[in-house]
Structure 1
Amino acid sequence: MNIASLYAPVHIEESTVVGEHCVFGYPKEARLRAQQKGSGSTSSGEPVVVGAHCVIGNQVVVHEGVWIGANCVIEDRVRIGYNCVVGERTRVAYGAYVCDRVAIGVDACVAGFVCDGTTIGDRSTMMGDLVHEYARPHEGWWEVDEEPPMIEADSVVGYGARVVGGVRIGPRSYVAAGAVVTRDVAPDHVVTGINVHVPAERWRGRRLQGLIRHWQALAKTDRL
Structure 2
Amino acid sequence: MERWVSAEATINPTARLGFGVVVEEDVEIGAGAEIGHHVVIRSGVRIGPGCRIGDQTVLGKRPASAANSAVTQEAPELPPLVLGEGCIVGAGCVLYRGATLGPKVFVGDLVTLREDVTVGDLTILGRGVTVENKVTIGRKVKVETEAYITALSIVGDYCFIAPEVTFTNDNFLGRTEERRKHFGGPTLRRGARIGGNATLLPGVEIGEDALVAAGSVVTRDVPPGVVVAGVPARILRPVPTEQLLEHQVFYDR
Quickly name the TM-score band, shorter chain normalised.
0.7 to 0.9
Cα displacement (A) at 1:199:
3.5
Q: Which residue of 1 aligns with 2:37?
A: none
Unaligned runs of 5+ in 1: 34-39, 202-208, 219-223
Moved more, 142-151 or 161-170: 142-151
Cα displacement (A) at 1:14:
2.7
* Percent identity between the two aligned chains: 24
Q: What is the alpha-carbon distance in structure 2 between the residues aligned to residue 77 and residue 12 of structure 1? A: 19
CA RMSD of aligned residues (A): 2.8
User: What are the within-5 Å matches in structure 2 for residues 1-224 of structure 1?
Assistant: 7-30=42-65, 45-111=78-144, 112-127=147-162, 128-135=165-172, 137-139=174-176, 143=180, 146-194=183-231, 195-200=233-238, 209=240, 212-215=241-244, 217=246
Cα displacement (A) at 1:8:
4.5
**Larger RCO: Structure 1 or Structure 2 (Cα < 8 Å, ≥ 6 residues apart)?**
1
When normalised by structure 2's length, the TM-score is 0.71
Q: What is the alpha-carbon distance in structure 2 between the residues aligned to residue 47 and residue 170 of structure 1? A: 33
Distance 1:94-1:145 versus aligned 2 partners, 3 A rule: farther
Cα displacement (A) at 1:45:
3.5
Cα displacement (A) at 1:216:
7.2
Q: What code does the residue aligned with 1:198 have? A: L
Cα displacement (A) at 1:217:
4.1
Q: What is the alpha-carbon distance in structure 1 between the residues aligned to residue 216 and residue 43 of structure 2? A: 39
Cα displacement (A) at 1:138:
2.9
Contact (CA 8 Å) 1:8, 1:48: kept in 2 or not?
no
Q: What is the alpha-carbon distance in structure 1 between the residues aligned to residue 43 and residue 226 of structure 2? A: 42
Cα deviation, 1:151-203, whole Å, max 9, x if unaligned, reads 111110111011111000000000011111010000001011122112315xx
Unaligned runs of 5+ in 2: 1-23, 26-41, 68-73, 248-252
Extract structure 1 runs of 4+ deviating beyond 4 A.
Answer: 142-145
SS at match of 1:191: strand
Cα displacement (A) at 1:214:
3.6
SS at match of 2:236: strand
Distance 1:50-1:215 versus aligned 2 partners, 3 A rule: same
SS at match of 1:29: coil
Would you say how many aligned residue pairs link Structure 1 and Structure 2?
Answer: 199
Cα deviation, 1:108-134, whole Å, max 9, x if unaligned, reads 011300110100010001121111234
Distance 1:27-1:216 versus aligned 2 partners, 3 A rule: closer
Indicate the structure with greater helix content: 1
Q: What is the alpha-carbon distance in structure 1 between the residues aligned to residue 80 and residue 99 of structure 2? A: 7
When normalised by structure 1's length, the TM-score is 0.80
Q: What is the alpha-carbon distance in structure 2 between the residues aligned to residue 135 and residue 114 of structure 1? A: 18
